[in-house]
Homo-oligomer: A and B are copies of this chain.
Amino acid sequence: MTQPSKPTRNAASTRERILSVAQHHFKVNGYDACGLRDIAADAGVNVALINRYFGSKVELFQKAVVDALQVDDLLSGNKDTFGQDIASRMTWNDFDDDDFDPLLAFVKSLGSPAVGPLLSARLTDHLVPAMARWIGGKAAKERAALILSTLLGFDMLRRMAKLDSLQNGNRKAIVALAARTLQGYVDGMPEQGDRSRPAKSRPAKR
């Protein structure tokens, strides 16, 4: 029995355990609604240790969630099939188990005045630029931001709000529509010659 599962008196291991449990709690309840006491209890350690190792609740959140936020796994595929690939992945059956999902933690905590600014900064400084660099072209940052807003908005309604239409609805239709949207953002502007609007009248409405 030499598994290092919980070797009493090992700072590194304890730190990792706290971090892992914190990620889970932040993902489920968001920043404001989860307490250090609950995290400590789940991690099997004392509350005091959290502040000892991380300084404060905000700094714990920084290490557990903010630093973990990245878009690299979205950018590993083919640009021509990005829409299809990501749309399919978005609609996968929930793997709501233990595996950490920083994106969901992001959505659940963005509203908090305490850590919202941290998440915004991460978005501005890393996520958007990284995706913009990958897609390239004109208005790359705007298009990158639209892609992220699509993913986050979808997750917000599907997994946070547990909206049935998106969770158990017509998956094929959802994937087709979302894929078109995402691919449209990657490919760029509709220019003018798009067949989208057949030059309808469009009288000066309001």
Contact = CB atoms under 8 A, between A and B. Distances in A.
Interface of A: 29-30, 32-33, 77-78, 80-81, 83-85, 107-114, 116, 119-120, 123-124, 128, 138-139, 141-146, 148-154, 156-158, 160-166, 169-170, 173-174, 176-178, 180-181, 183-185, 189-190, 194, 196-197, 200, 202, 205-206
Contacts of A108: 111
User: Which of A108, A114, A156 gathers most chain B CB within 10 Å?
Assistant: A156
B164 A124 contact: yes
5 contacts: A33-B114, A128-B165, A139-B170, A176-B190, A177-B189
Nearest to A142: B169
Given A153-B154, A177-B185, A33 B142 contact: no
A205 B142 contact: no
Nearest to A85: B205
Most buried by B among A144, A151, A180, A189: A180
Nearest to A30: B111
Please indicate which of the listed interface residues A146, A154, A162 has the most CB atoms of chain B within 10 Å of its own CB: A146
Nearest to A170: B139
